[in-house]
Amino acid sequence: MTALGLTVVIPAHNEVAYLPRYLPTVLASLARWQETSGEQGEVIVVDNASTDATADMAATFGVRVIRENVRNIGRVRNSGAAAARGRRLFFTDADVALPLEAITTAADAMDSGAVGGAIPPLYTPKRLGARLLCAYWDHYRTRHGGAQGVAQFATGAAFKEVGGYRDDLFMSEDVEFFARLRAHGRATAAPVEVLDDLRVRPSTRRYDEWSILRMLWWQNPVTARLRLSSPRMWRHWYETTVR
């Protein structure tokens, strides 16, 4: 298997409607990095038990498609990482738009010694209450040094060293992974970079369709720590996502 410079891993469950909108931004960002670095990369879409044409749609963009049948986001990301040929890993979601500079800046950070990092999200929901909730989470993560899984990256070596994402968690696995990545950085005297000059733009489908009360219940620092290993507790996040 030919080694590559970087692999982008994208989990996808029933995302046939969103891939045409967001995947081109990933491919453009990867192409920019390939042009400037002279290295080659790849995109792996991990079809997570989709019941629609997600896999076929992803394949039309020329990316690698693999399948993971277990509905657990940590396991899906780990499956993509296990199939990756890149020595650097970049994780994003199927409904996230990357800025053109995203992959280049992340790769440059790793080339400068960082073991990994993240790019913060910019959510722009329609309703004021949802915007305030997003602003609160942005402040909370900044204050506590966390980062969402919508755009996280790590060297392949660091990812292996920390053991990847926990596949026994059904929520907050990205925050837990990033905490271990930071601890690894401290232990090895290597930085973990949060690229605050950039923002990725996730879709706002949940914020626009779910009620504010529902979002407040499922997305607050208390609930986000409850029964994280319970698929029943977090079935709403997995089974009733607005598509």
Report the SS3 class of residue 112. coil
Using an 8 Å Cβ cutoff, are 205 and 95 in contact? Answer: yes
Give the pairing of strands 116-118 and 41-47. Answer: unpaired
1, pLDDT greater than 70: no
Predicted pLDDT of residue 103: 98
Task: Name the band, by pLDDT with cuts 50, 70 and 90, for residue 22.
Answer: very high
The tens digit of pLDDT for each residue in 207-218 reads 888 888 888 888
Q: What is the DSSP letter of 197?
A: T
What CATH code would you report for 6-122+147-203? 3.90.550.10
Q: What is the pTM of this model?
A: 0.94
Cα–Cα–Cα angle for 88, 7, 167, rounded to 5 degrees: 85
Using an 8 Å Cβ cutoff, are 147 and 141 in contact? Answer: yes
Give the torsion sign (CA, 181, 182, 187, 188): positive
